[in-house]
């Protein structure tokens, strides 16, 4: 695997003087802090959960573990590791199906999606929350911003991600630097704006494109991805890459349809930023 390091400087998005002193100082400020729900799809992640939960911030409102019929002790271990764990059993296969169920079940003001394999650091959640509290409606992780990086991406996957990201930048005028990454956060009230009908890994792209289409403010947050600790990923670079490309094609058709409707009736809905 190729390791990429984009620097280690903290995110300096304009949020508040306290945040510029560091994310931990920002978290300690006496503000009306929103309730944060962490949505975590699992499938036989019993060995990884203790590693992930050990880094989970104490102020998290709840952890929604969406389990896809694990055959190990995933559910029992999750309950034993954190007092605020909620188990949602999802019979339908796929990361997309799991995230959809978790998003609906979340009760917090902010919803954060994170993997259970140990590749995403829960200590970065504060950066996503800070981005949302600074005025964003959607905060998306990026491994290619300064402060981010990856240890878990082959040259083939990197080129595929770069190509798909470039297509979206050209077609939709986005400033995305990392299209295919699942560490994201958004205000729960915005959930109806998102097209989350996908069942597989392409849901990450669908969420990004839906946020872009809706007009809400998007902020990218640097994130460092490590290797999966235990087990093997279900991601298939070719198959899932094709599904992502098809998701982009459907977005093109959807926008053309919306433009045609706008031309007929002259109306166009606007989402407050």
CATH of the domain at 123: 3.90.550.10
Give me the number of domains the chain comprises: 1
Question: What residues does 187 pair with on adjacent strands?
Answer: 110
Reported residue count of the chain is 273
Distance CA 184, CA 216 (A): 14
**Domain region containing 70:** 2-263
The reported pLDDT for the residue numbered 261 is 39
Closest CA to 61 of 31, 81, 83: 83
In a domain, 93, yes or no: yes
Residue 13 has pLDDT above 70, yes or no: no
Average pLDDT score over the chain: 82
Q: Which of 163, 143, 167 is nearest to 153 (CA)?
A: 143
pTM: 0.80
Residue 204 domain-assigned (yes or no): yes
pLDDT in tens, 126-144: 999 999 999 999 999 999 9
Q: Confidence class of residue 262 from pLDDT cuts 50, 70 and 90?
A: very low
Q: Which residue, chain included where needed, has tokens 């947050």?
A: 221
- 14 Rama class: left (phi>0) / alpha (psi -120 to 50) / beta: beta
User: Tens digit of pLDDT for each residue in 185-234?
Assistant: 999 999 999 877 787 778 888 899 999 999 999 999 999 999 888 766 66
Over residues 228-243, the mean pLDDT reads 68
What does the H/E/C string look like for 234-249?
CCCHHHHHHHHHHHHH
């Amino acid at each position: 695997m190729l390791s990429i390091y984009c620097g280690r400087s903290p995110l300096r998005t304009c949020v508040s003087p306290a945040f510029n002193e560091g994310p931990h100082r920002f978290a300690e400020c006496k503000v009306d802090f929103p309730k944060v729900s962490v949505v975590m799809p699992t499938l036989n992640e019993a060995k990884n959960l203790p590693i992930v939960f050990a880094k989970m911030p104490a102020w998290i409102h709840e952890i929604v573990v969406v389990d896809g019929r694990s055959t190990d002790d995933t559910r029992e271990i999750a309950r034993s590791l954190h007092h605020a764990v909620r188990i949602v059993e999802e019979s339908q296969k796929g990361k997309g199906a799991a995230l959809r169920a978790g998003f609906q079940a979340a009760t917090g003001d902010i919803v954060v999606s994170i993997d259970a394999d140990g590749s995403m650091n829960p200590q970065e959640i504060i950066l996503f929350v800070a981005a949302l509290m600074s005025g964003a409606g959607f905060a998306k992780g990026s491994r290619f911003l300064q402060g981010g990086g990856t240890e878990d991406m082959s040259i083939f996957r990197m080129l595929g991600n770069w190509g798909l990201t470039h297509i979206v930048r050209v077609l939709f005028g986005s400033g995305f630097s990392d299209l295919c990454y699942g560490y994201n956060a958004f205000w729960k009230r915005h959930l109806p704006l998102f097209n989350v009908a996908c069942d597989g890994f392409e849901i990450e792209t669908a969420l990004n494109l839906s946020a872009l289409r809706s007009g809400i403010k998007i902020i990218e947050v640097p994130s460092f991805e490590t290797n999966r600790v235990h087990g093997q990923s279900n991601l298939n670079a070719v198959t899932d890459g094709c599904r992502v490309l098809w998701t982009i094609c459907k977005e093109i058709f959807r926008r053309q349809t919306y433009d045609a409707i706008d031309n007929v009736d002259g109306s166009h809905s606007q989402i407050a930023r």
